[in-house]
Structure 1
Amino acid sequence: MLKNLTPTCKVRGTLEAGLYLAETGCLCLVDTIAEDPEVLQGDAQTYYEKLLKKSLPTADVFSIPGGQEVKLEDSCVCFVPLYRNNPTCKLLLLTDPKDKETVLAVYLGRRWWPVEEVVKTADPARDGLLLVQTFAERIVLFVLNYIIFGMLEGSSANDAFFLPHSATECAKILWRNGEAVAFYSVKMKGSLCDGTTSQCYLLPVLDTIFVRRKCRRGGLGMKMLHDFCQSFLAEDALGISCPISAAMYQVCQKFLQVYPEEQKRLWEVEAPGDWSQRANIWLKIQMELFPSGKAAMGSHMENTPASKPRQSEVDQMNKGVECFPGAGRGAGDATEKKDDTAAAGTLNPQGPEEEDLEKGAGNTRQHKGLRKRASPGDLVGDKATKQLRTTP
């Protein structure tokens, strides 16, 4: 049964995109949306068809910060796939009519949610690194990866192509002060490398990682790397998707200096991770066989100096870690708690500069070359089934 999610922020036909949470007490999307995805998509399709027929009861407009209003019409909305491997599950997005690569809002539960509000939470228990488990959390992951990183905060200099995660991707979102500020995803040992072969990963692989610009330079990249290692204590080897950016190598160097016991476990790998496809990260650091300066930063990166962290930072990272499903751990199972650090990172290369550790949510094994950045304006099919182009 669909909850009553009528737009309480609607005033004189306007769906406010401002601070509706503080002003009206509306619940956040991740705390509210619990319905069947098919029901939610059906609502979006119904709304879209009304836009096409111009049969909405009022001529709605969407207000964005600064007072500008965007008229809600079919030319400004499009459906995009939520998952890389499931083109039938889609989200309805509102784009800026003056810049089709800028997404303004997501339609869910019979209302428009501004992008910045999608990644917020009013639940105090949603704090630290938490596994992505619910459909609403999948939406937050999509917005962080595909919209915020892929369209809004990614470097246009790369002009890279970004893909959503799969529907079963193992990932964690880092929640801080009521907001999702970072994430990382893992290819689990034994999971298929892609949908075209029967090859499976031979070890857990850190595949994508991203920290929002406003939260960089605070240690979040190193924190997530530590969490990844702690989630797989029973494994003799752990991978990071190849190629690793110069900035991410800085994070790895700092991390391995603090945790020398991990020096033999971390490998730069290509799928599926056979020994012939691995290179020891610490050895490459010692031999200086890694990108330097502001060279391609893609997949993994954090903008922090390579100096040894303070003891307080180490203590913070040593807090309990929530395991991925099926990942055995030793003692100390717990949930990652308060993280006041912040930094930057991204996995899977596509990279600009250290200061812009943003690259990452792409599939480096299938899409090694840079491609044109996708935008909601790249539509295919008839207007009733608009969606972004995706690679085969």
Structure 2
Amino acid sequence: MFSLVADCGPGKLGGHLYLVDTLAGDPEVLQVDAEAYYEKLLKKSSSTSDVVSIPGGGEVKLEDSSVCFVPLYRNNPTSKMLLLTDPKDKETVLAVYVNQCWWPVEDVVKTADPARDGLILVQTFGERIVLFVLNYIIFGMLEGSSANDAFFLPHSATECAKILWRNGEAVAFYSVKMKGSLCDGTTSQCYLLPVLDTIFVRSKHRRGGLGMKMLHDFCQSFMAEDALGISCPISAAMYQVCQKFLQTYPEEQKRLWEVEAPGDWSQRVNIWLKIQMESSPAAKSEVDFQSSKPRQADVDQRSKGVEYIPGVEKVERDVTEKKDDTAAAQTLNSQGPEQEDLEQGAGNTQQCKGIRKRAGPGGLAGDKAAKQFRILP
């Protein structure tokens, strides 16, 4: 029988060190090790399969049907993570195989290092895995809205991101498309300004001002820039976060823009101005009138049998774009039905682009990416 982290090494916190504290191996070597381990699993008969003990979840038999590889990075199929899924629910990931150990999902996002506190830039391979688990597994599968049948693509290997650590746990993150970085892998266009692309706060840590904290950190990180972007479309929940933030920090009102890539002046809308316009009585009455009539584009797409999927990165230009109006409780990769408690601050905001239709982790590699945005307050 295999146990999990308990046998992977002694440590400081509760007798254990966690993955992000101990992982120092070469990523390529770790990849080869995971592939060799997977091959051994395939050769074992069901009668001799190993069993993994999941904390609080009983025992799970290690069989081909319960393990699968998924890309660790967007647009890089060679780097993969080996995942263990629940035999009763293939869309629920129980553990991640790294460095000859099965690590429960909740242990991957923990640390025993007291210095790992607050917003910390993602730099190490272990931190990349934490970002992957927060974004792809916890948000995309475990805490995302059940109203949207979708997986979310992982970040690229060079994505600039910060993880928010609190009390020994990774509770939130945000990522940025840097000025001058390529918009996608199909064109030579580059971002013309820094763009906040994804924000996510775990559900149990929402309504505590963490969304505001990360938005402020984003603005403070680019003080020399006259304009900063937030990836379009911005959900209603994220607009509430922005409104609270811009009321608190009026000096940022001229700097924050809702942008389409690459973000030239024809692709920007000032967020504070838009908030003011939409809060006016005339704007509200116009919105109420328009909301009772379906857009012709929507009617046309439905008649063609086109399925709308909220996504994360503009990878294919021919995919229909659509704002996810149900994302009132999502992240800048966000989704969820609940409204943000502005007095408490934003809890979870995530916006991302490029999602895939949910068909289980093993079916991700062949799916097409669509433009998406998510926000979880």
Give the structure-2-normalised TM-score.
0.79
Map 1:216-231 onto structure 2 (within 5 A). 216-231=206-221
Q: Which residue of 1 aligns with 2:70?
A: 80
Aligned length: 322
CA gap 1:296/1:111 in 2 versus in 1, 3 angstroms: closer
Q: CA deviation at 1:17?
A: 6.7
Q: Which residue of 2 aligns with 1:372?
A: 357
Distance 1:390 1:22 in 2: 43
Per mean C-alpha deviation after superposition, the further-off stretch among 75-84 and 15-24 is 15-24
Map 1:197-208 onto structure 2 (within 5 A). 197-208=187-198
Distance 2:135 2:366 in 1: 15
Q: CA deviation at 1:74?
A: 1.6
Q: Which residue of 2 aligns with 1:276?
A: 266
Q: CA deviation at 1:377?
A: 4.1
Instruction: Render the CA deviation track for 1:284-317: whole Å, top value 9, x for unaligned.
Output: 111117999984335436954334x7xxxxxxxx
Which of the numbers 340, 344, 350 marks the counterpart of 1:347? Answer: 350
CA gap 1:303/1:135 in 2 versus in 1, 3 angstroms: farther
Map 1:178-257 onto structure 2 (within 5 A). 178-257=168-247
Q: CA deviation at 1:375?
A: 2.2
2:152 is paired with a residue whose SS is: coil
**Aligned-pair Cα RMSD in Å:** 2.9
Q: CA deviation at 1:65?
A: 3.7
Distance 2:367 2:6 in 1: 30
Q: CA deviation at 1:43?
A: 0.9
CA gap 1:390/1:89 in 2 versus in 1, 3 angstroms: farther
Q: Which residue of 1 aligns with 2:137?
A: 147
Give the conservation status (yes or no) of the 8 Å contact 2:153–2:356: no
Map 1:290-301 onto structure 2 (within 5 A). 295-297=326-328, 298-300=330-332
Distance 1:28 1:347 in 2: 26
Q: CA deviation at 1:389?
A: 4.2
Distance 2:359 2:38 in 1: 22
Instruction: Render the CA deviation track for 1:371-391: whole Å, top value 9, x for unaligned.
Output: 522521426xxxxxxx57453
Map 1:1-392 onto structure 2 (within 5 A). 13-16=1-4, 25-54=15-44, 59-66=49-56, 68-288=58-278, 295-297=326-328, 298-300=330-332, 304-307=340-343, 343-348=346-351, 362-363=352-353, 367=354, 372-378=357-363, 389=367, 391=369
Per mean C-alpha deviation after superposition, the further-off stretch among 62-71 and 116-125 is 62-71
Give the conservation status (yes or no) of the 8 Å contact 1:375–1:388: no
Distance 1:23 1:267 in 2: 43
AA partner of residue 261 (structure 2): A
AA partner of residue 345 (structure 1): N
Give the structure-1-normalised TM-score.
0.76
CA gap 1:225/1:282 in 2 versus in 1, 3 angstroms: same
| Runs of at least 5 residues in structure 1 that lack an aligned partner in the other structure | 1-12, 310-341, 349-361, 380-386
Distance 2:253 2:49 in 1: 61
CA gap 1:343/1:115 in 2 versus in 1, 3 angstroms: farther
CA gap 1:180/1:24 in 2 versus in 1, 3 angstroms: closer
Instruction: Render the CA deviation track for 1:61-80: whole Å, top value 9, x for unaligned.
Output: 11224452111122210111
